[in-house]
Amino acid sequence: MTTDTIASSTSPLFEKAEPSAYFSDQDYHRFHERAARYDRENRFFDEDLADLRERGYLRAALPADLGGGGLGFAALAREQRRLAYWAPATALAVNMHLYWTGPATALTASGGDDLGWLLRARCWPPGMANGATTWAWTIRSRARSGNPTDRTS
């Protein structure tokens, strides 16, 4: 008796799923291998964050003219669903960052500039490329300083 694998069209296992614009299957498996350790050790996702940053994923929702990937909501949601399948906590944490960059891009593109400052912010560690705020890094640095409202980190 044979059984067919059933996957919804939003599943990363769907045979006709679009490939990721940022990650390979090997990347996803690496994220997955680290996920259990992060949970077990209650650790910050340092290695995953470094991989996400290196591949430009933290800038995925930003406009191309600001150094981003220019992904719309549907494409970004597809990328997030796939990341969440393999590394749920990593996807949740990075979603807190994307929560601001996606809507800031959409609002700015529609003519509003209320969140334009966010797209142009430079809260990177020294020596890193400019173009987007890495909220996970900023929040982590502020938490380590003991002052979450510290705007110098």
CATH number, domain of 134, equals 1.10.540.10
Asked if residues 68 and 59 have their Cβ atoms less than 8 Å apart, the reply is yes
Closest to 137 (Cα-Cα) out of 127, 147, 123: 123
141 occurs within a structural domain: yes
User: Can you say how many angstroms the Cα of residue 129 is from the centroid of all Cα atoms in its chain?
Assistant: 16
Q: Domain count of the chain?
A: 1
* CA dist., res. 132 & res. 129, Å (int): 9
User: Tens of pLDDT along 78-99?
Assistant: 899 999 999 999 999 898 888 7
Name residues whose C-beta falls within 8 Å of residue 51's C-beta, 6 or more positions apart in sequence. Answer: 27, 30, 31
The DSSP 8-state label assigned to residue 64 in this structure reads G
Return the structure tokens found at 84.
């969440």
- What pLDDT sits at residue 65? 80
Note whether residue 117 is domain-resident: yes
Indicate whether 10 belongs to any domain: no
- Identify the pLDDT of residue 108: 75
pLDDT for residue 144: 53
In a domain, 89, yes or no: yes
- C-alpha span between 49 and 34 (Å, rounded): 12
What distance in Å separates the CA atoms of residue 117 and residue 37, rounded to the nearest whole number? 36
Examine residue 30 and state whether it is found in any structural domain, yes or no. yes
Is 97 a member of any domain? yes
Containing domain of residue 126, as a range? Answer: 25-145
pTM, to two decimals: 0.70
5 residue type, one letter = T
- Give me the residues of the chain with pLDDT under 70, please: 1-12, 113, 115-153
Locate all alpha helices (DSSP H) within the chain, ordered by sequence: 25-41, 46-54, 73-86, 88-109, 116-120, 135-145
- Classify residue 137: in a domain, yes or no: yes
Asked, for residue 60, whether it belongs to a domain, the answer is yes
